């Protein structure tokens, strides 16, 4: 890897996002609508923003770590991308969907 390339994990750390982000925003909406007690506790304790930022960062890190690993495991490499782009895109979309399901289950909809 040359000096100008970054790993997926580095990209997550360097990437700027609008607060609360996709996954943090989903966590916020979930708390407001379905777990009012925890929401009120986080607000009154001054921990709501930290919770939302944690969920967003953890979700982005999971995407950055798991997608390349799963793609390699499933044989979705650059050769396939050049040979059969539609198959590669379909496989990558399926992997992203699987990772996002775990993010929503483990991070967004978790009961603390």
Judge whether 77 lies within some domain. Answer: yes
Classify residue 3: in a domain, yes or no. Answer: no
Residue 101: domain span: 18-108
In angstroms, the CA 61 to CA 9 distance is 6
Considering the domain boundaries, does residue 45 fall inside one? Answer: yes
The answer to whether position 90 is within a domain reads yes
Rounded to whole angstroms, the Cα distance separating 45 from 76 reads 45
Counted domains in the chain: 1
pLDDT, position 17: 57
Q: What is the pTM of this model?
A: 0.79
Mean pLDDT for 84-94 is 97
Q: Which residues contact 9 (CB under 8 A, 6 or more apart)?
A: 61, 64, 65
Q: Assess contact for 58 and 25: CB atoms under 8 A.
A: no
Identify the residue with better confidence: 91 or 13.
Answer: 91
2 within some domain: no
pLDDT tens readout for residues 26-83: 999 999 999 999 999 999 999 999 999 999 999 999 999 999 999 999 999 999 999 9
Closest CA to 108 of 34, 14, 13: 34
**In terms of Cα–Cα distance, which of 51, 46, 87, 94 is closest to 70?**
94
């Amino acid at each position: 890897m040359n000096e100008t390339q970054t790993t997926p994990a580095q990209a997550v750390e360097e990437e700027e996002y609008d607060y609360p982000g996709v996954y943090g925003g989903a966590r916020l909406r979930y708390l407001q609508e379905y777990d009012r007690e925890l929401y009120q506790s986080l607000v009154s304790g001054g921990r709501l923003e930290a919770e939302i930022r944690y969920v967003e960062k953890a979700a982005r890190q999971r995407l950055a770590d798991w997608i390349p690993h799963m793609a390699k495991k499933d044989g979705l490499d650059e050769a396939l991308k050049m040979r059969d782009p539609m198959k590669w895109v379909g496989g990558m979309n399926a992997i992203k969907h699987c990772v996002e399901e775990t993010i929503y289950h483990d991070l967004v909809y978790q009961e603390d």
